[in-house]
Amino acid sequence: MQTVDFVERKVSRFINEYNDEIEMGIIKYQDHYKVVVTICQEEPPFKDFIGIGIDRRRGRRAARKALKGLYLEAYSEE
């Protein structure tokens, strides 16, 4: 198995407009950024969603992609 070294890693938490707690992890590799965002409620109503975004140049763009995917999964009406 091949290992990949990352340059920097940051994790932050915030409450969104739906009053859900979002955890965002930004990982900077040598040639790209990867952002993983999750909604994990510890009390009812239980929610467990994840969004992943990757961008070659900017962590902010990767975060937008990850949040867009997360919001589509968690809040879109079926």
Mean pLDDT of 53-69: 97
pLDDT at 78 over 70: no
pLDDT at 49: 94
> H-helix or E-strand containing 29?
strand 21-29
Q: What is the pTM of this model?
A: 0.85
pLDDT at 77: 67
pLDDT at 26 over 90: yes
pLDDT at 69: 96
Nearest of 43, 41, 33, 37 to residue 66 by alpha carbon: 37
pLDDT at 5: 85
Mean pLDDT of 43-58: 91
